[in-house]
Structure 1
Amino acid sequence: MTSIKRTYKIATAAALLVLVTVTTGIYLGAQTRAQFNDIAKSWTDYAEDPEKKGVWISSLRGYLGYGGIIHNFKNYVIRKDESYRTRMLDQITQFDAVMASYLSEPLPDVERRALETIRVTIGEYRARLGIADRAVAGNWPAERTDRLVRVDDTEAVLALRNLEILWMDSRARSTARIIAAVTRGEMLIGYGFLAMVLLAAAALTIAVLIGVLIRDMRAANLRLTQELGARRTLERSEQRLAQAVEQSPATILITDTSERIQYVNRRFEDVSGWTRAEIIGRTPRLLRSGETSDNVHADLRKTLERGEIWRGVLHNRRRDGGSYWVDSTILPLRAEDGSIHSYVGIGEDITEKRQVREQMVRAQKIEAVGLLAGGIAHDFNNILTAILGSTHLASLDADPGSDLAQEVEQIDIAARRAQALVRQLLGFARREPGTPVATDLCIVMAEVERLLRAAIPPTIRIEGVKDCVPVTVLADPTHLHQILMNLCTNAAEAIGDADGHIRITARALADTPEGLSTRTQGWTELTVEDTGIGMSDETAARIFDAFYTTKPLGRGTGLGLCVVQGLVQDIGGRVTVESAPGNGTRFRILMPGAAAAQAAQSAASPAPERGHESLLIVDDQTEVAATLRRGLIRMGYQVEAYTSARIALDRFEKTPARHSLLISDVIMPEMNGIEMARAMRALRPDLPVILCTGFTPTDVILPGGPTEVLAKPLDPLDLARHVRRMLDASRAA
């Protein structure tokens, strides 16, 4: 009985243990399954719902942030650029679509109120667009426009921040649920293991099954933990990669194998002006400016088809119609099996570098012109001296009004135009600075008219010169001559063989022009207008650039207007141009005025008095020395001419008192004119000296008598006046 009772007790205990074991197993299994379901649901909530809202919130942040609707609205108000208005309207349309999608979801009240706040703020900007349009059309002051269109977007920004906080809280809660579920699963595993250890002796089978269950649960929990860690690591890596690509200083563009654009980074948007929304799905052909040859594009395409990397420079078109240069590297992207699935183009904007290089080339050209001008000035001015002297002598022998006299006059005009050209080259190279003096513009206009009459077609009339009222300016007369000649020559070429006129006017201004300082003598305005073909805005913006010309090859150097601008700026003035295709051109030059009493008289001076004194001429150019000698002999002087400074000095040393005046070139072989003059002054300190140079005249200090420095080419009558004045002054002393 006792044994039965003991057996019954053991059986009851065993049954109880089995029941407890089974119950425990069922309980643990149910709890484990519930934890897996909770983990799965938490993972779904973590991966789907917050992710979708994150995309919408990111889009809303873009519409409210830099480059978005508010930013473009303010830029449109401030800069009055229509492109900002167009971009803003496109973004409003996209904003409405995002907002509609977001609001269609079941949302908490606080989230829906935040969305409504943002939509109301954007609606206020949309409502004030009409005011902004009127402000742009009426060119209202910025303060007035800002006061009328100002919108307080503080609540919208706060609402967006609340949305982001709600979104981040949602992701945090989902993550916390996953972690909590995993933690509870680990606790259940521990409890189950302890229960199995305690019941192992009575329920080995249950223990084995629970052991297997524990192993599987641990493996599943480990995999889930590792997957969650890998997912977080991948997300951080992708975020860093996306930030690196997005913030890269290089432009990045990705296309599929059909050349459809899939992605562009922010730098590409900044450089090209195209937004992602505008360019995604299109082909890079829209970037072609037409300046890159078809051969380059063909080589690019063939290189990529071979699966190779292409490198080169492309001249692309911006969205606004401008262009930019980009140093590009385009390479294929391959899948794990080696097949090409995309192409990525990486580029560096080198527009500024090319512009700097072009400026350097332009500067080198200018330097070359300066070297050329300095090199030819001396020899060319010697040639012009001979030509001007010979034409003067020929004009003395020709009968007034005869055909010969007219031909000689044409030679004289051509020589003086060549003289102006040399001065223009020297002025462009800044080798010949001007000396501002009070000058009557009417006299300069008359001289320019005389030269133009023989150089332009008879169908072109020159107006305004005869009606000129004396206007005095503070400027170098030679530079004024260059300015007028360049402007009038360009005007004549713009008219061509058609009937037309060039009108030159000068007037003193009553008020100080805007942007210029107030002067006691005031300002003057010189205008040159023509009825030529005119210019486009693009051409007018570049006409003052060195070497820029619209004339056919061989018809222009591109220096004339650059010289004009430089000369005007040198005297503190300003030159502007007004033109339109088919409506002619008008140049307006503002120059400092001067007192009329100070104006140097440029009218023809009376013929110099004749003389009988003995003169000594020294010039290494035979034709120059001979021309000066013949001209002064015609004035009655006794003249000895030499082409060697040493021979002239030897002759002078024998009879220092014989000659009354020395006329010498400065640059000569063996001994220059200054050294020779000093040696002669050592023998005769009172000897008057006239030095002649083909470069810029500068003061020369010689001990003893009077000294003057004249610029070549020498005008025979002007030289004779200087000779007579110095001889008379020496005699009076």
Structure 2
Amino acid sequence: MPARSFDSARFYSIGFAAIALLVVTVSLGLFLGTETRRQFGEIQDSWSDYNGEVGQKGVWISSIRGHLGYGGIIHNFKNYVLRRDEIYFHRVDSQIHQFNEVVDAFLGQTRNEAERKALLELQATIGLYSRNLQVAQQAIQKGRGTAAVDALVRIDDSAAKQALADLEAIWTRTRVMSTRRIFSAVAQGQKLIGVGFASIVALVLAALTIGALLVFMLGDMRAALERLARELSARRKAEAGETRLASVVEQSPATIVMTDTDAKIVYANRRFRELTGWSSDDVSGQTPKFLQSGDTSPETYEDIREKLAGGEEWHGVFRNRKRDGTTYWADTRILPLLGPGGDVQNYISIGEDITERRQAREQVARAQKLEAVGLLAGGIAHDFNNVLTTIVGAAHLASLDAPEGSDIAGEIEQIEIAAKRAQSLVHGLLTFARREPGKPQPVDLCGVVKEVARLLKASVPPTVKLDCSDAVGHKMVMADHTNLHQIVMNLSRNAAEAIGGEEGVISVRVAAVDGTPPELAERADGWMVMEIADTGPGMSAETRARLFDPFFTTKPLGKGSGLGLVVVAGLVEEMGGRIEVDSAPGEGAKFVIYLPATSQPEAAQEQRQSETPRGHERIILVDDETEISATWRRVLMRLGYQVEAYTSSVVAAEKLSATPKKFDLLVTDMVMPDLSGEELANHARSVSPDIPVIICTGYSPSAIDVTGQAPVILAKPIDPQHLARHIRAELDANAVK
């Protein structure tokens, strides 16, 4: 076939057209780029103006309105005049200072005369309130009546209200203008984008046209060599394609494994070898069974075989085993490779290592569960401790009337033990929720083990033997006594429940550690280890992996909350220690806890007196729970005290105001409607500055601010003897003054 003639004029024409198109394209691109940058600059400037000055002024105006609205300066000023409570005086004084700081900041920022006029009007009005606050205080101190004081300090604040309205109107207009500027800049940018897209489409069409002409021209030039070049190019592409394919597969970030139709491995890429630790020689000729960790069910493998046999792809997640025995999670696709005739020639598996992603997701889920536990603990603590307080108090009253050594006395003792266990549970929940932090101090670990053993003997089946022979002597650790008691109790009870009705042994061992345990820091006083082991049924690997997850439990519904071991892990971590678990099915379980040892002597524990201290003083008792106030009243009256009990803090406050010298001591709950225990204590101190105060709370508040001597804070549920000793101590200390 003869080659077509070469037309040089057409060649040069097409070349000049291509150069012209290139110049037009570059010029248009520079123009569009410049205009786009300018429009983005305009949007940025307008947004900065909106988000900066307008946004800040909005915050200041909101703060000013808050100071002038309900609960603000004017409202608290009127409350002070009407109620004459010094707390309102201090609130007004503090709010005036805060108001002046906001207005001064606003004045330093704005140059708008209308805004400055409105701000100065507001400042002048609040200045009148500031001066009249002192006038009102002096008038109240002189004993003048409410109407007279109100008439003396009454202020017309209509001008201030109008000034605030003007200030908000100016801000609204400024915000609208800034918004319009943003919208205008965005609209111009959108138009520019439309022009750009239209220009690009036109240039593409022109380029396609010239490209077609160039192809036609090159066809004329290379007609003679076309067949030879095509054959040579095809050969080179085939060779390069094979090389690239091999390189891509070998360097792929995914694991790629190819098997024959008998599922024997014929190829595994570099990523697979690096991830699993197996070499090509190790896996060649084997089936993928050596990767199985035992977590995949037989039904899954059957599903894989059925889909591959039908020519379909299978997708799922495997937990595979590495050469060193560890495992990894792989998101895997297995598909058949078909030959030219449509028959299956090989199978290929493509996997992605998702171990880190899965662990991150599990950590997020665990954190969400921990947060839920924290909210739950804080929500129920107050009410639950109130119930326990009633139980403990009623049991104490019953024990006073029960004959010593009688059956009823034994039953009452069991009630007290159960209440203390419930108290320990609530304390653990509060500690876990970080609402009640522990107080580390030197504690005898063996002594705590003996305390728990005494409590467990009354609750574990007789078939379960508790062996504490390896927990002898004095092994001192730095820990919170109550938290340590909770750890030993939870692990021991879990061991007893694991053994169930079968015969078994729970053994507790305490010993000093030689050297420093793994993953823990070296300490001058070293470390102590406590091991709690049982001969129960043991745990599977899956159960061990989820053992410290919130709400995870293997117990039947209603038999466990899944929080006990979570609390234990949190307490051990708070003490600076570490907990390990060693268990296998049929081999029991062993918990190993490392705790910081100490050479300091044990902190002095409160010595219980043989007899509860008594008295005859007058006590005012306040708790909004009727059962608690009634129980405490009966307990204290049995001890000889004269007690007036109230379930309304407001009524109690009125009683204190009416007879401020009648009472020798105030005992009050913390969380109550109308007036909290803190507010009631401050009111009591305002009418009787020297009155001792004991505040009882279901959970430890962050801070309690009471004027005068700091009150005694007791955590519910309160042991009656513990309460009686604190009452006696406060009354005796006040009598010495």
TM-score (norm 1): 0.62
CA contact (8 A) 1:328 1:347 kept: yes
Alignment partner of 1:525 is 2:531: no
In the TM superposition, residue 612 of structure 1 has moved relative to its aligned partner by 0.9
Q: Do 2:544 and 2:581's aligned partners in 1 also have CA atoms closer than 8 Å?
A: no
Please state how far the C-alpha of 1:346 moved relative to its aligned partner. 3.2
1:241 aligned to 2:241?
A: no
Q: Report matched runs for 1:466-615 at 5 Å.
A: 468-504=472-508, 506=510, 522-523=525-526, 525=528, 527-530=530-533, 532-533=535-536, 535=538, 538=541, 542=545, 545-547=548-550, 551=555, 554-576=558-580, 582=587, 585=590, 587-596=592-601, 599-615=603-619
Cα offset, 1:672, TM superposition: 1.3
Residue 404 of structure 1: CA displacement? 0.4
Report the equivalent of 1:352: 356
Q: Provide the residue aligned with 2:78 in structure 1.
A: none
The answer for the alignment partner of 1:37 in structure 2 is: none
> Could you list the per-position Cα deviations for residues 251-277 of structure 1 after superposition, in whole angstroms to 9, with x for gaps in the alignment?
334456666655443223344555544
On the 8 A contact 1:256/1:342 being kept in 2, the answer is: yes
RMSD of aligned residue pairs (Cα, Å): 3.7
Contact (CA 8 Å) 1:507, 1:524: kept in 2 or not?
no
- Aligned pair in 2 of structure 1 residues 477, 282: CA closer, same or farther (>3 Å)? closer
Q: What is the DSSP-based 3-state SS (H/G/I as helix, E as strand, rest coil) of the residue aligned with 2:596?
A: strand
Aligned to 1:395: 399
The separation in 1 between residues aligned to 2:337 and 2:275, in whole angstroms, is: 24
Closer/same/farther in 2, CA of residues 416 and 239 from structure 1, 3 Å limit: same
What pairs up with 1:282-431 in 2 under 5 angstroms?
Answer: 291-292=295-296, 310=313, 312-318=315-321, 320=323, 323-331=327-335, 333=337, 342-431=346-435
Aligned equivalents of 2:513, 2:304: Cα separation in 1: 61
Residues 562-571 or 235-244, more deviating: 562-571
Structure 2 CA distance for partners of 1:261 and 1:460, relative to 1, 3 Å: closer
* Partner in structure 2 of residue 632 of structure 1: 636
Asked if 1:670 is matched to 2:703, the reply is no
Match of 1:684 in 2: 688
The answer to whether the 8 Å contact 1:613/1:638 transfers is: yes
- The number of residue pairs the alignment matches comes to 512
The structure-2 alpha-carbon separation of the partners of 1:724 and 1:466, relative to structure 1 and needing over 3 Å to count, comes to farther
- Identify if the C-alpha distance between structure 1 residues 655 and 453 changes in structure 2 by more than 3 Å, giving closer, same or farther: same
CA contact (8 A) 2:510 2:531 kept: no
Confirm whether residue 623 of structure 1 aligns to residue 643 of structure 2: no
SS at match of 2:359: helix
**Structure 2 SS opposite 1:353:** helix
Secondary structure in 2 aligned to 1:611? coil
Q: What's the offset of the Cα at 1:423? A: 1.5
Name the aligned partner's letter for residue 535 of structure 2.
G
| Structure-2 residue corresponding to 1:44 | none
**Separation in 1 of the partners of 2:561 and 2:252?**
44
The whole-number CA distance in structure 1 between the counterparts of 2:232 and 2:558 is 76
Distance, in Å, in 2 between the alignment partners of 1:517 and 1:253 is 44
Deviation at 1:639, TM superposition (A): 1.0
Kept after mapping to 2: 8 A contact 1:618/1:625: yes
Cα distance in 2 for residues equivalent to 1:578 and 1:307: 45
- Secondary structure of the residue that 2:672 maps to in structure 1? coil
Distance 2:290 2:447 in 1: 58
User: Hey, what's the Cα distance between the residues in 1 that align with 2:289 and 2:443?
Assistant: 60
Q: 1:539 to 1:307 in 2, by over 3 A?
A: closer
1:455-482 alpha-carbon deviations (Å, 9 max, x no partner): 1123434444798434443321111211
Contact 2:316 2:331 in 1 (8 A): yes
Residue of structure 2 in register with 1:231 after alignment: 235
Query: 2-side partners of 1:316 and 1:277: how far apart?
Result: 23
Within a 5 Å distance, the mapping from 1:11-410 to structure 2 comes to 227-228=231-232, 230-255=234-259, 261-272=265-276, 275-279=279-283, 291-292=295-296, 310=313, 312-318=315-321, 320=323, 323-331=327-335, 333=337, 342-410=346-414
Alpha-carbon distance in structure 1 between the residues aligned to 2:676 and 2:375: 22
Which secondary structure does the structure 1 equivalent of 2:443 belong to? strand
Cα distance in 2 between the residues matched to 1:526 and 1:347: 43
2:436 partner letter:
E
Q: Structure 1 counterpart of 2:666, which letter?
A: L
Superposed CA offset, 1:648-686 (max 9, x none): 112221111111111111111222111121122111211
Q: Residues 554 and 731 (structure 1 numbering): CA distance in 2 closer, same or farther, change over 3 Å?
A: same
**1:716 aligned partner, one-letter code:** P
C-alpha contact (below 8 Å) 1:697/1:710 kept by paired residues: no
Change (3 A) 1:642 1:352: same
Q: Does 1:642 align with 2:646?
A: yes
> Shift in Å at residue 246 of structure 1?
1.5
Q: 1:728 to 1:259 in 2, by over 3 A?
A: same
1:517 and 1:324, CA in 2 relative to 1: closer, same or farther beyond 3 A? Answer: closer
Residue equivalent to 2:161: none
TM-score, length-scaled by structure 2: 0.62
* SS in structure 1 of the partner of residue 576 of structure 2: coil
User: In the alignment, is residue 729 of structure 1 matched against residue 733 of structure 2?
Assistant: yes
Assess, with a 3 A threshold, how the Cα gap between structure 1 residues 573 and 337 changes in structure 2: closer, same or farther: closer
8 A Cα contact 2:516 2:527, kept in partner? no
**Partner of 2:118 in structure 1?**
none
Partner secondary structure for residue 639 of structure 1: strand
C-alpha distance in 1, partners of 2:283/2:616?
A: 90
Q: Which residue of 1 aligns with 2:71?
A: none
- Give the C-alpha shift of residue 368 in structure 1: 1.4
SS of match in other structure, 1:380: helix
Where does residue 712 of structure 1 map in the other structure? 716
Separation in structure 1 between the aligned mates of residue 516 and residue 332 of structure 2, nearest angstrom = 52
| Contact 2:476 2:599 (C-alpha < 8 Å) held by counterparts | yes
User: Equivalent residue of 2:350, what SS?
Assistant: strand
Deviation at 1:608, TM superposition (A): 3.4
Assess, with a 3 A threshold, how the Cα gap between structure 1 residues 636 and 699 changes in structure 2: closer, same or farther. farther
Is the Cα–Cα contact under 8 Å of residues 292 and 315 in structure 1 kept in the other structure? yes
